[in-house]
């Protein structure tokens, strides 16, 4: 059986040659200048259907209406003791953290929690794979979001070699059963996938590299993953095929 690598990577150095839309491109994260081809396509990359951003006023008005509904939903949870759990997955730099921020912005923090786990400890590595996530599931009246989740084993882990092919296959087999138990226990369960195109991702990586406010988001895995776009796509498609179920659908 192939052995999984240690949960760390050494990113490539220097300019990277990548293929986007059938064209060979060179991208250097250490260059302060963002390439023109990234700048030109960062909004419409990946099939995004609009060529202009939503106006700020329209965005703010729409967001406020949605946030009011979330506040109402939280009041309902507290009154009924129901539970909500939402997973946020997606491409690296797709905006999971930012989306979770606006979801939780006006919720009562006493009963709204976000879970963003670091890499597993030696103790956690010896446990049932799902255990460290289940420890954070909502109790009565709670609204819990996950900024990444057990679906690490469907994406970054197999792509980067942090799990074996056998572990990946076992995960895809067992996860629907695990999520069936979640739903059967009465938790209102949601799985969101945030998608972006390659140029958008590169622009956001570049921003992380040079923004002092976002540098904490920048990691070696970001760089190592730039040349693995197609591998991530294959892993994502397999994940959708095997874990998109009527009782626990993916919302893209």
Domains of the chain (ranges, CATH numbers)? 62-196+220-251 (3.40.50.300)
> Do 71 and 107 meet the contact criterion of CB atoms below 8 Å apart?
yes
Residue (of 182, 224, 161) closest to 7 by Cα position: 161
- The pLDDT of 186-200, averaged and rounded, is 98
> Do 7 and 167 meet the contact criterion of CB atoms below 8 Å apart?
no
Helix (H) or strand (E) segment spanning residue 29: none
pLDDT tens across 67-101, in order?
Answer: 999 999 999 999 999 999 999 999 999 999 999 99
pLDDT over 90, % of the chain: 86
- The pLDDT of 230-244, averaged and rounded, is 98
Q: Tokens representing 232?
A: 């991530």
pLDDT tens across 112-127, in order?
Answer: 999 999 999 999 999 9
pLDDT over 70, % of the chain: 96
What pLDDT band is residue 252 in, cutting at 50, 70 and 90? very high
Residue (of 131, 146, 49) closest to 88 by Cα position: 146
> Do 215 and 209 meet the contact criterion of CB atoms below 8 Å apart?
yes
């Amino acid at each position: 059986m192939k052995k999984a690598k240690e949960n760390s990577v050494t990113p490539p150095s220097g300019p990277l040659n990548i293929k986007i839309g059938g064209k060979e491109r060179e991208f250097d994260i250490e260059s302060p200048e963002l390439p023109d081809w990234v700048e030109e396509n960062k909004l419409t990359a990946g099939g995004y259907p609009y060529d202009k951003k939503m106006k700020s006023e329209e965005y703010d008005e729409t967001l406020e209406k949605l946030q009011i509904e979330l506040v109402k939903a939280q009041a309902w949870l507290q009154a009924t003791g129901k539970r909500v759990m939402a997973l946020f997955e997606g491409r690296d730099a797709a905006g999971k953290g930012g989306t979770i921020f606006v979801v939780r912005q006006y919720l009562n923090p006493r009963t709204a929690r976000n879970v963003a786990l670091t890499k597993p400890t030696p103790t956690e590595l010896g446990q049932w794979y799902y255990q460290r996530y289940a420890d954070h599931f909502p109790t009565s009246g709670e609204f819990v979001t996950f900024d990444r989740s057990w679906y690490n084993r469907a994406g970054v882990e197999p792509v980067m070699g942090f799990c074996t092919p056998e572990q990946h296959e076992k995960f895809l087999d067992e996860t629907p059963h695990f999520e069936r138990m979640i739903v059967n226990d009465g938790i209102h369960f949601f799985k969101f996938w945030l998608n972006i195109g390659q140029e958008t991702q590169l622009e956001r990586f570049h921003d992380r590299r040079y923004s002092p406010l976002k540098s904490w988001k920048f990691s070696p895995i970001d760089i190592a993953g730039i040349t693995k776009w197609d591998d991530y796509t294959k892993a994502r498609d397999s994940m959708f095929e095997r874990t998109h179920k009527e009782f626990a659908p993916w919302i893209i």
